[in-house]
């Protein structure tokens, strides 16, 4: 079982980097953390795994809710009074906002537990890779917080006319996007490195530790 979570975690984080198959990544990673928590008796590992599954299920739920509500609104707009679609739309937006707030709260809890779990795993398995993964997650959050005002300042300093003046007709504004969104590129690089270190960390869990 221990060897199972070693490979489940590594493969799960790898799949998170691959489009189209990354949807199953949270499930594999969650199972790996839960199994690791059961083996090591570290409750933070188990809590992280459970919250990852809850976050995944909540995300699926909001997508299904949106689609179901849209299909419900279509006949209301065709058959009911003119105010009916707007009433239904208001209820839909209220539901989406409420679920989104819950998902955001769960995501923040996962973010905190993810960092704590990496540092705890670094201590349990004496792994510098888990520790590096934890520090890079902190660096990613800091970079993201800094990038928001930096991007806003760049947009405001250039102004709408300055931005439109740099758009060549029919050309993709790669240079313009790079000059504005470069802080997010740094965030993406840090996040990628954090994931890579998590992959290495799971694959390099010592065999002697797994057998104890």
pLDDT tens-digit series, residues 14-24: 999 998 888 89
What are the backbone angles phi and psi of residue 170, rounded to the nearest 5°? 80, 0
Cβ–Cβ < 8 Å for 130, 118: yes
CA distance 63 to 45: 28
pLDDT over 70 at 84, yes or no: no
Residue among 20, 30, 34, 32 nearest 54 (CA): 30
What whole-number percentage of the chain has pLDDT above 90? Answer: 50
pLDDT band at 9 (very low <50, low <70, confident <90, very high): very high
Q: Which position has the higher pLDDT, 103 or 3?
A: 103
Q: How confident is the model at residue 88 (pLDDT cuts 50, 70, 90)?
A: low
Q: Residue range 175-193: average pLDDT?
A: 83
């Amino acid at each position: 079982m221990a060897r199972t979570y070693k490979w489940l975690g590594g493969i799960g984080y790898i799949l998170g980097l691959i489009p189209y198959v990354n949807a199953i990544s949270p499930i594999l990673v969650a199972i790996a953390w839960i199994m690791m928590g059961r083996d090591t008796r570290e409750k933070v590992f188990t809590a992280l795994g459970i919250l990852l599954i809850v976050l995944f299920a909540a995300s699926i739920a909001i997508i299904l809710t949106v689609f179901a509500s849209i299909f419900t609104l279509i006949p209301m707009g065709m058959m009911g009074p003119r105010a009916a679609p707007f009433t239904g739309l208001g209820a839909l937006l209220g539901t989406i906002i409420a679920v989104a707030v819950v998902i955001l709260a769960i995501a923040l809890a996962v973010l905190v537990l993810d960092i704590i779990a990496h540092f705890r795993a670094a201590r349990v398995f004496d792994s510098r890779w888990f520790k590096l993964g934890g520090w890079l997650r902190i660096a990613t959050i800091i970079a993201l917080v800094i990038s928001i005002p930096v991007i806003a300042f760049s947009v405001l300093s250039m102004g709408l006319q300055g931005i439109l003046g740099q758009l060549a007709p029919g050309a993709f504004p790669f240079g313009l996007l790079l000059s504005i969104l470069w802080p997010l590129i740094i965030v993406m690089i840090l996040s990628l490195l954090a994931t890579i270190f998590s992959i290495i960390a799971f694959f390099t869990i010592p065999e002697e530790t797994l057998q104890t």
